[in-house]
Amino acid sequence: MRLALDISSQWYPDRPAEPTDASDEQELPWTTANSVALQLPTMRLLDFSSAVEGPPLLVCAPYALHRAKIADLAHGHSLMAALQEAGTARLYLTDWRSATPEMRYFSIDTFLSDLNVAVDTIGPPVDLAGLCQGGWLSLLYAARFPDKVRRLVLAGSPVDVSVPSELSRMVASLPQQSFEAMVRQGEGIVSGEHMLQVWSLPFNLLDVEAALQRRLDGKSEDARVLLDRFTRWNDETLDLPGTYYLEVTDWIFRQNRIAAGDFVALGRKIDLAAVTLPVFLLAAEKDIVVPPDQAFATMRLLGTPPAWLQCDTEPCGHLGLFVGCMALTGPWRRIARWLQSDLDEATGGRARISA
């Protein structure tokens, strides 16, 4: 079993972006140039903008096992670059920090609070695009601060886990005490390296090709660099705060509190029926982590008018949604156009795509 089923990377850029701080020197370099807009206890807010005007888009990376570079893996396989090329001028990314002992009591509320600071720094209202588990965090934020989010994108995002998946079945099959034991073993921190051993399987060339949606010559220099880059990315795991980890496994994946209407975010119970902003849902047809039925089950929980709900699928596995060349030039281009369109309330809220 693995959380990341078909992850990959691509070639190094011709001229990699400079490291955004000294800690990056030992890490895989970013593909697309960016700067650090804000340093917070939970994240660095990275700025990929090419202009100072226009509606801002904040991409919320998953805080689970791997680093946020899944959104900027390589040339031709970078979501951030694809969004730039599709006309997104103001663009940001949450680069979540690996947990330190001082972070062991950080909770979901802690991450929501810092996400709120990031949004205030960018300047609300923002568009939010949540990737995988960054999706449920983005949805909670949009429900908690409805005036600060203009539109919401949920890509491969688990929300209603009553619709089964391999991930939800796996979590349900284990007693919560086993997750608590993992936290105790790490003295309040869940080791990313340990999670990688538990959840991940070895990758081969076919796995990489499936995620990239691209055939590779396994003997070529490009393929060697690609596999080396992927290996480095796969090895750069994130440690998680124990409190956050237990809340996610119990509240999100065992009790299904978000879908059930029982989740309390920063002191307020979340009612998804009160979420009425435009939402775009993206799913992968071959996804066993968040299958389409689960990804699209979120629609029936929202109060968004039907004309403001959009959905799309891509014939790939889970993380192919974020690095696949066809996914980035297909549904993500449509998402970018949708974010840039006008919603004409006089015609029932249909999106009018601008030239």
Q: What is the pLDDT of residue 47?
A: 98
3-state secondary structure of 132: coil
In this structure, the number of other CB atoms found within 10 A of the CB of residue 125 comes to: 17
Distance set, CA 205 to CA 209, 226, 257 (Å) = 6, 10, 38
Tokens of 332: 């993500």
pLDDT at 202: 62
Q: Which two tokens stand for residue 188?
A: 């309040």
Nearest residue to 283 (alpha-carbon basis) of 296, 273, 270, 272: 296
Q: Copy the structure tokens of residue 275.
A: 């979420």
Report domain extents, the chain: 22-352
Q: Which two tokens stand for residue 333?
A: 């281009």
From the number of C-beta atoms within 10 Å of its C-beta (0-12, 13-18, 19+), residue 210 rates as buried
The per-residue pLDDT for range 93-136, each reduced to its tens digit, is 999 999 999 999 999 999 999 999 999 999 999 999 999 999 99
Enumerate the β-bridge partners of residue 190. 240
pLDDT at 7 over 60: no
Residue 25 pLDDT exceeds 80: no
Q: How far apart are CA 44 and CA 34, in angstroms?
A: 11
- Domain 22-352 -> CATH class: alpha beta
- For 249-285, write each residue's pLDDT tens digit: 999 999 999 999 999 999 999 999 999 999 999 999 9
Res 124: pLDDT = 97
Quote the mean pLDDT of the chain.
Answer: 86
Q: In 3D, which of 8, 34, 70, 12 has the Cα closest to residue 214?
A: 8
Quick one: pLDDT band at residue 218, thresholds 50, 70, 90? low
| CA neighbours closer than 13 Å in the CB half-sphere of residue 293 | 7
Q: Are 166 and 159 in contact (CB under 8 A)?
A: no
Q: What single string gives the DSSP state of each residue in 230-290? A: HHHHHH-B--EEHHHHHHIIIIITTS-HHHHT--EETTEE--GGG--S-EEEEEETT-SSS
Q: What is the pTM of this model?
A: 0.89
Cα separation values, 322 from 129, 211, 262, Å = 12, 9, 30
Q: What is the pLDDT of residue 4?
A: 34
Termini Cα distance of the chain: 44
Q: Are 248 and 62 in contact (CB under 8 A)?
A: no
Q: Which residues contact 102 (CB under 8 A, 6 or more apart)?
A: none
The mean per-residue pLDDT over the stretch 193-222 comes to 75
Q: Which residues of 276-297 are buried (b: 16+ CB within 10 A; e: fewer)?
A: ebbbbbbbbebbbbbbbebbbb
- Of the candidates 267, 282, 231, which has an alpha carbon nearest to the alpha carbon of residue 113? 267
Region 303-322: what's the mean pLDDT? Answer: 95
Residue 6 and residue 316 in contact, taking contact as beta carbons nearer than 8 Å? yes
> Which of 285, 286, 287, 282 has the alpha carbon at shortest distance from 299?
282
How many CB atoms neighbour CB 13 within 10 A? 17
Residues 6 or more apart whose CB falls under 8 angstroms from that of 292 comprise 283, 284, 285, 313
- Condensed to tens digits (0 to 9), the pLDDT of residues 128-158 reads 999 999 999 999 999 999 999 999 999 999 9
Answer yes or no: are the C-beta atoms of 129 and 59 closer than 8 Å. Answer: yes
Q: Which residue type is seen at 80?
A: M
